[in-house]
């Protein structure tokens, strides 16, 4: 099944805006407009030399068409013929060299812009996305920029220019029917190619969609390798993947069959045009109206047109495919971030790190309210905890503080400043996060810690490692800090992952630290050891602990108890136990479970 959000960017547009998409490409090429103009000049010179070759060939043939027994070798014409051939190759290669920088720079710039745009998109988009399909659309879309610029500069424009030159020669030097037949062949060829290609594009669209879907399934399957193993579903995953590939294969077979039909039709049109031209040329020679050189010239011009004409047919299909791929990319670029900096947004000035939720409400959609009139204060330097049953909205509070979503009511303040009026970048610079499930880059431990603040000194990195009590682990590893942690950090245990996350958060040196159920998936012994690291990390900074296990927050300055999106209790651990309310019930339940395990 493909999610609705994924369908928005993976299904081909039935009503594409190709011209708008092409206009969007121009700024990426415009940076190297000087090189492009020089490349076009070389293109024109190459085509002039190409079309001039048959003209010189006609003169050479006519030199031999004499009655003299002794023939004179037309050396100057032969040298000119060779020079024109060499000029064609020279200017074509110069065109390629000049345009290469512009083409690859455009691809690099667009790829970087798309990745930056994806990072700007809001949490909701990334929760709905399918990484495999998005990466495939990104790959094809950026490649389409290179393809389109390549096709137009190297094939479309040269071919149109060459056809124009040939038509000018035929109109000016020969009977009108030669030009009419040539023009008719070209026009009918283009019309036939366009109609058949548009008809068969459905199969290409389907193949592209299925290719993205299969790629996404493969990526999901490999990313969930352990889950597949747990449930013994290797065969199921392969069958699911193979089923999608089977439909992809069927679509591509139809695409190939219809392409053969198109190729045969194109060849037939060109063959008919060349045959008619040769019949009229031969008749002209017989009548004495044309020389043998004229016959060779007309034939050479038509055969010379055959190659770019045939290429033009292939390129039309490729341009259509590239436009479809480009459309997927532009639709991705048209996705609007849900959370944006307001016009005139200011840098957040954080001195104390005091946080306040002021009558905050939030819902993912109107029929799913998550938070209702939440008011809570986290004074500077204090440790505040948020607890409650699953689904009470605890993690949503952290996401709102990071401004991954906008509140639907109320305000979130830091040092008295509404975070909605500040830039997202300045806000997130002040907050560190230790999530429930730490996901690391498939790189070294050093890279993952230093990721919090690239360029940090070795002393600062070592300090963060010691506070997180990660130094013992590192000394035991053969490669130490250079140990690669594997995909998503799977080579490390849960406790080790969390220590890396704590070290990373400490190195960031934030004014506010959030621990989002950082120990909920760990065993009791690891939890106890890790809590020492958490306490050390939280020392001296404002900290918010979202907890499932209440034993981890008994020393919190204040505990807020959530239920159904509302604050139902607040106070210290002792005060909440004395109230004998929801907190007390949760505490007693967890204590009895712990006693049962120990017995």
Q: Which of 384, 402, 395, 374 is nearest to 565 (CA)?
A: 374
**Angle 466-468-473 from CA coordinates, rounded to 5°:** 75
The two tokens of residue 221 are: 């399957």
Strands 409-414 and 355-365: antiparallel
Q: Which of 135, 116, 332, 142 is nearest to 220 (CA)?
A: 135
Segment 76-129, tens digit of pLDDT: 777 887 888 888 888 888 888 888 888 787 888 888 888 888 878 777 777 666
Segment 198-233, tens digit of pLDDT: 787 778 778 878 888 888 888 888 878 878 887 788
Q: Taking the mean position of all CA atoms in its chain, how far away is CA 499?
A: 32
Q: From start to end of 318-455, where are the E strands?
A: 355-365, 368-378, 383-387, 409-414, 417-418, 431-434
State the chain's maximal CA–CA distance in angstroms. Answer: 127
SS (H, E, C) 468-532: CCCHHHHHHCCCHHHCECCCECCCCCHHHHHHHHHHHHHHHCCCEEEEECCCCCCCHHHHHHHHH
> Would you say residue 515 has pLDDT above 60?
yes
Contacts of 298 (CB under 8 A, 6+ apart): 170, 174, 178, 277, 278, 281, 290
> Would you say residue 18 has pLDDT above 90?
no
**Angle 419-425-431 from CA coordinates, rounded to 5°:** 70
Residue 551 near residue 367, CB atoms below 8 Å:
no
> Would you say residue 10 has pLDDT above 60?
no
Cα(58)–Cα(174) distance, rounded to whole angstroms?
14
Residue 186 near residue 272, CB atoms below 8 Å:
no
Give the pLDDT confidence score for residue 226 in this predicted structure.
76
Residue 87 near residue 317, CB atoms below 8 Å:
no
**Overall residue count recorded for the chain in this entry:** 599
Cα(422)–Cα(417) distance, rounded to whole angstroms?
8
Cα(38)–Cα(482) distance, rounded to whole angstroms?
49
Range with lowest mean pLDDT among 66-80, 277-291, 350-364, 425-439:
66-80
> Would you say residue 16 has pLDDT above 70?
no
Q: What percent of the chain has pLDDT over 90?
A: 15
Residue 436 near residue 521, CB atoms below 8 Å:
yes
Residue 277 near residue 180, CB atoms below 8 Å:
no
Domains of the chain: 7-333 (1.20.1560.10), 346-430+541-599 (3.40.50.300)
Range with lowest mean pLDDT among 126-135, 217-226, 265-274, 348-357:
126-135
Give the pLDDT confidence score for residue 572 in this predicted structure.
92
* Positive/negative CA dihedral, 38, 43, 44, 50: positive
Place of tokens 């004074």: 379
Cα(145)–Cα(324) distance, rounded to whole angstroms?
11
Cα(323)–Cα(321) distance, rounded to whole angstroms?
5
Number of H helices and E strands in the chain, helices first, is 20, 10
User: 444 - beta bridge partners?
Assistant: 484
Mean pLDDT of 442-454: 90
How does residue 376 score in pLDDT terms, banded at 50, 70 and 90?
very high
Cα(235)–Cα(185) distance, rounded to whole angstroms?
55
How does residue 529 score in pLDDT terms, banded at 50, 70 and 90?
low
Strands 409-414 and 512-516: unpaired
Cα(558)–Cα(541) distance, rounded to whole angstroms?
15
Q: Please report, to the nearest 10 degrees, the dihedral formed by the alpha carbons of residues 73, 77, 80, 82 taken in order.
A: -50
Give the pLDDT confidence score for residue 441 in this predicted structure.
86
Write out the H or E segment, with its range, that includes residue 131: helix 131-151
From first CA to last CA, the distance across the chain in angstroms is 46
Strands 542-546 and 512-516: parallel
Q: Categorise residue 290: left if φ over 0, alpha if ψ from -120 to 50, beta otherwise.
A: beta
The two tokens of residue 393 are: 């909205």
> Would you say residue 598 has pLDDT above 90?
no
Is pTM beyond 0.85? Reply is: no
> Would you say residue 167 has pLDDT above 90?
no
Residue 499 near residue 515, CB atoms below 8 Å:
no
Q: Which long-range contacts (C-beta less than 8 Å, at least 24 apart) are formed by 126-129? A: 128/3, 128/4, 128/5, 128/6, 129/3, 129/5, 129/6
Give the pLDDT confidence score for residue 12 in this predicted structure.
44
What strand order describes the sheet that includes 431-434?
431-434, 512-516, 542-546, 383-387, 558-563, 566-571
DSSP state letter for 442: S
Distances (CA, A) of 337 to 88, 332, 333: 50, 11, 10
The SS3 assignment for 233 reads: coil
Give the pLDDT confidence score for residue 74 in this predicted structure.
67
The two tokens of residue 444 are: 């070294």
Contacts of 42 (CB under 8 A, 6+ apart): 91, 92, 94, 95, 98
Q: Which of 196, 121, 109 is nearest to 146 (CA)?
A: 109
Cα(85)–Cα(300) distance, rounded to whole angstroms?
14
How does residue 183 score in pLDDT terms, banded at 50, 70 and 90?
confident
Residue 468 near residue 517, CB atoms below 8 Å:
no
């Amino acid at each position: 099944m493909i999610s609705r959000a994924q369908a928005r960017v993976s299904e081909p547009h039935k009503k594409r805006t190709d011209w708008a998409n092409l206009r969007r490409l121009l700024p990426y090429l415009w940076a190297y407009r000087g090189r492009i103009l020089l490349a076009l000049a070389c293109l024109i010179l190459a085509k002039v030399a190409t079309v001039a070759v048959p003209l010189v060939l006609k003169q050479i043939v006519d030199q031999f068409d004499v009655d003299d027994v002794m023939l004179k070798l037309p050396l100057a014409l032969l040298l000119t013929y060779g020079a024109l051939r060499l000029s064609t190759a020279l200017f074509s290669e110069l065109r390629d060299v000049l345009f290469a920088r512009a083409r690859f720079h455009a691809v690099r710039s667009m790829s970087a812009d798309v990745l930056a745009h994806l990072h700007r998109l809001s949490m909701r988009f990334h929760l709905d996305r399918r990484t495999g399909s998005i990466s495939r659309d990104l790959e094809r879309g950026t490649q389409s920029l290179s393809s389109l610029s390549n096709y137009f500069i190297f094939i479309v424009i040269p071919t149109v220019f060459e056809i124009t030159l040939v038509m000018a020669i035929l109109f000016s030097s020969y009977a009108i029917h030669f030009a009419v037949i040539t023009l008719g062949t070209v026009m009918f060829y283009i019309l036939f190619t366009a109609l058949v290609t548009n008809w068969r594009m459905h199969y290409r669209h389907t193949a592209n969609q299925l290719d993205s879907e299969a790629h996404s399934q493969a990526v999901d399957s490999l990313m969930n390798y352990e889950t597949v193993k747990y449930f013994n579903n290797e065969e199921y995953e392969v069958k699911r993947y193979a089923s999608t590939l089977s439909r992809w294969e069927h679509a591509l077979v139809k695409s190939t069959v219809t392409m053969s039909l198109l190729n045969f039709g194109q060849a037939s049109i060109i063959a008919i045009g060349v045959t008619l031209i040769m019949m009229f040329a031969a008749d002209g020679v017989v009548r004495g109206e044309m020389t043998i050189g004229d016959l060779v010239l007309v034939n050479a011009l038509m055969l010379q047109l055959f190659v770019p004409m045939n290429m033009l047919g292939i390129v039309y299909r490729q341009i259509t495919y590239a436009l479809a791929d480009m459309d997927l990319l532009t639709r991705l670029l048209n996705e609007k971030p849900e959370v944006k900096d307001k016009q005139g947004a200011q840098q957040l000035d954080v001195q104390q790190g005091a946080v306040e939720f002021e009558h905050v409400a939030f819902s993912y959609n109107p029929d799913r309210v998550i938070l209702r009139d939440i008011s809570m204060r986290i004074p500077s330097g204090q440790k505040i905890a948020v607890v409650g049953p699953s689904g009470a909205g605890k993690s949503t509070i952290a996401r709102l503080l990071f401004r991954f979503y906008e509140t639907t009511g109320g305000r979130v303040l830091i040092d008295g400043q509404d975070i909605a009026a500040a830039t997202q970048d300045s806000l997130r610079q002040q907050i560190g996060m230790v999530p429930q499930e730490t996901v690391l880059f498939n790189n070294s431990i050093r890279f993952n810690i230093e990721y919090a603040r690239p360029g940090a000194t070795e002393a600062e990195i070592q300090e963060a490692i010691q506070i997180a009590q990660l130094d013992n682990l590192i000394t035991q590893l053969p490669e130490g800090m250079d140990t690669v942690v594997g995909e998503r950090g799977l080579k490390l245990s849960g406790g080790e992952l969390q220590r890396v996350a704590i070290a990373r958060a400490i190195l960031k040196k934030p004014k506010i630290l959030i621990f989002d159920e950082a120990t909920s998936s760990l065993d009791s012994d690891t939890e106890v050891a890790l809590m020492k690291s958490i306490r050390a990390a939280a020392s001296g900074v404002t900290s918010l602990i979202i907890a499932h296990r209440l034993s981890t927050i008994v020393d919190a300055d204040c505990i807020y108890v959530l239920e159904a999106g509302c604050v139902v209790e607040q106070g210290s651990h002792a005060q909440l136990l004395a109230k004998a309310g929801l907190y007390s019930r949760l505490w007693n339940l967890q204590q009895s479970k712990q006693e049962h395990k120990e017995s």
